[in-house]
Amino acid sequence: MNTLDRLIESANENRTILCFGIDPVVSRITKEPEEEVEELITDYFCEITETLLEENAISAIKPNYAFFAQYGFDGLHALGNIIEEFKEETPVIIDVKRGDIGKTSEAYAKEAYDFWGADAATINPYMGEDSVRPFLRDDKLAYLLCRTSNKGAKDFQELKCGEGYLYEKVLEKAIEWKCGIVVGATSDAIIKIVETTKNEVPMLIPGIGAQGGDLGMVMEVIKENAAIHRINASSSIAYAHEKHGGDPAEAAAKEAEKLNSEIRKYFEE
């Protein structure tokens, strides 16, 4: 089964397109820095992810490579542990934002898909087709950074390029290359993108939760083909206990349920 089919199946089985973004920050997990980082990160996120999966609250996970790599080999070992634990249960989107000249991209693609075992990866398309091509495997899915959720996205992505914007040129290539795209929920560009693509290009949609994106607007726009997309929430779920107290896994499940109460309006019983 290829990645897109797996995403669709998982969404329909769980009646959600919520994706859990895994961004470890040790200082938010513990106040005891002498603890083993690999074990700490692994245990914390495995417990939360297991709870979310048991409650059918998510239909993918998205570990962010940089948040693991900042802790060196301990962090990377934890990344491997988490992927290995859950890759059979749910699609894994590895957030690496890679993109380089051909041979280097080939090495990055092997890392993402063959070493880490991810189903999908985020890709920076700035260097063009030869930097993206190694990630375009038939059974995998590459998400090109298109119109992202950060404030600085306007610096380049919304530069005029012909009659449109630069991000729209990226969108054209994503359609041509049969990629997915990363589109933030913090911009109304998502409305224009869905109209252009006829809602047939898979989107990874960050910006919901801590960044304040409009979940209702997003779901209304994508509702006709929602199962191909993923709405990502990271710190708002992982560290929900900071706001609400209690056990981290229980707090995470409650936060996910808040999001799903909106998402599931668009899934048939």
Contacts of 63 (CB under 8 A, 6+ apart): 21, 22, 79, 82, 83, 92, 94, 95
Q: Which of 63, 51, 180 shows the shortest CA–CA distance to 116?
A: 63
**pTM, full prediction:** 0.96
* Sole residue written with tokens 């973004």: 21
Structure letter (DSSP) for residue 265: G
Q: What is the pLDDT along the chain (269 residues), one digit of tens a residue?
A: 999 999 999 999 999 999 999 999 999 998 776 679 999 999 999 999 999 999 999 999 999 999 999 999 999 999 999 999 999 999 999 999 999 998 999 999 999 999 999 999 999 999 999 999 999 999 999 999 999 989 899 999 989 998 899 999 999 999 999 999 999 988 889 999 999 999 999 999 998 866 677 899 999 999 999 999 999 999 999 999 999 899 999 999 999 999 999 999 998 65
Question: Which of 97, 140, 169, 258 does the annotation list as catalytic?
Answer: 97
Domain boundaries, the chain: 3-266
Return the CATH class of domain 3-266: alpha beta
Residues sharing a CB contact under 8 Å with residue 179, sequence separation 6 or more, in sequence order: 123, 132, 136, 141, 142, 143, 144, 173, 201
For the chain, helix, strand, coil in percent to 5 are 55, 15, 30
Taking phi over 0 as left and psi of -120 to 50 as alpha, with beta for the rest, 246 belongs to left
**Annotation says 97 is catalytic:** yes
